[in-house]
Amino acid sequence: MRLCDPHFHLWDINQRPNPNLGAAVEEHLPVYLAEDYLADMAQLPATLELTSSVHVETVVGQAQGGAIIDSVAETEFVYQQMTPTGHPFAIVGYVHLARDVEHTAQVLDQHAAAANGHLRGVRMILNHHPDNPDLTWPQVERGDFVRDAVFAESIALMGERGLSFDLQCNPHQLPDAARTFADYPKTPIIIDHLASFHDGEDDDYTQMWRDGLQAIAALPHVYLKLSMLFFCAGAYHEDAARGGKVRDLVLEAIEIFGTDRCMFASNYPVDQLQGFDIPTLYGHFVEWTKNLPATGRAALFHDTAVRAYRID
């Protein structure tokens, strides 16, 4: 099967410091370049062939008074890394979408110039929790961006420019997101990482996640990435019960959205830092879907991502 990997990252914190990436990156993997990514993806199960990839920003957030990271410089870095390899790629950059629409337009122009035809969308991480700081991501200063009027105008602008939005948020934020994005059907919305299902929660939490997914799946222009699954159950590759839990969540999400709106992604090298090599990671994806029709598997591994990110 052909594979489009719609979520990977590159960095070199020695040249471009980024404290938002965290201590594990600083200690164990300060540099991860295009050659490293392609070498890792060369270890895919024999049933899969990598044909394209989507780089997603690593800026995370830009709170006032916090670390300032040049998001356009990241796009330039990724373009310079990937272009010599000849591997087909797209870029999702970072823009703070709630400042003002003129700011959004200006930074989008800068990203487009830096990406030289490879820009496909924007991610502005929104994970925020009023009570649990572990579920508030670095420099995400508040949890109501999807109800912000300027944010909504920026989402509309992106649709006018043929760009998508990568939505990364906690499950309790999904209903507000569904209400907002219903008004902007021209902007494809791609939910990251199984909507950040968090390990160790109770049945009420699972139902909240399920209800949120169903609410936002009612919008036909919304897609879902099946990725960063260690967040659902850490080290699930080492425990059959935890692996079964993750498999069941993935299959339920596929049932809610359909194979034509779901896509597997590596989230590399973040998953590598959690102990998942590529043969193990994609071996699970292949195994979990072995009973699905060939067209459905083709969608999950390639066709949905290529369509959502408009990759030729």
Task: List the structure tokens of 304.
Answer: 């949905």
Task: List the structure tokens of 9.
Answer: 């990252």
Q: Are 8 and 228 in contact (CB under 8 A)?
A: no
Separation CA 48–CA 60 (nearest Å): 30
Q: Are 164 and 121 in contact (CB under 8 A)?
A: yes
Other C-beta atoms lying within 10 Å of the C-beta of residue 23: 8
The domains located in the chain, with CATH, are: 2-308 (3.20.20.140)
Question: What are the start-end ranges of the H helices in the chain?
Answer: 23-28, 34-41, 71-82, 101-115, 149-160, 174-181, 203-217, 240-257, 270-273, 278-288, 294-298, 304-308
Go through 84-112 and write b for each residue having 16 or more CB atoms within 10 A of its CB, e for each that does not: eeeebbbbbbbbbbbeebeebbebbebbb
Separation CA 47–CA 204 (nearest Å): 38
Name the pTM for this structure: 0.98
Residue 268 CB-half CA count within 13 A: 28
User: What pLDDT is stored for residue 312 in this prediction?
Assistant: 80
CA distances to 21, 68, 89, 185 from 95, in Å: 17, 13, 20, 20
User: What pLDDT is stored for residue 15 in this prediction?
Assistant: 96
Whether the bond between 269 and the residue before it is cis, its omega within 30 degrees of 0, is yes
Q: Which long-range contacts (CB under 8 A, 24 or more apart) does 306-309 make?
A: 306/4, 306/52, 308/6, 308/164, 308/188, 308/190, 308/223, 308/263, 309/4, 309/6, 309/54, 309/90, 309/92, 309/120, 309/121, 309/164, 309/190
Separation CA 103–CA 118 (nearest Å): 21
Task: List the structure tokens of 135.
Answer: 């579920």
User: What pLDDT is stored for residue 106 in this prediction?
Assistant: 98
Closest to 194 in 3D by CA, of 166, 168, 163: 168
Go through 150-185 and write b for each residue having 16 or more CB atoms within 10 A of its CB, e for each that does not: bbbbbbebbbebebbbbbbbbbbbbebbbebbeebe
For residue range 58-69, list pLDDT tens digits in order.
999 999 899 999
Q: What is the mean pLDDT of each run of 10 residues along the chain (312 residues)?
A: 98 97 97 98 98 98 93 98 98 97 98 98 98 95 96 98 98 98 98 97 97 98 98 96 97 98 98 98 98 98 98 88
For residue range 197-252, list pLDDT tens digits in order.
999 999 999 999 999 999 999 999 999 999 999 999 999 999 999 999 999 999 99
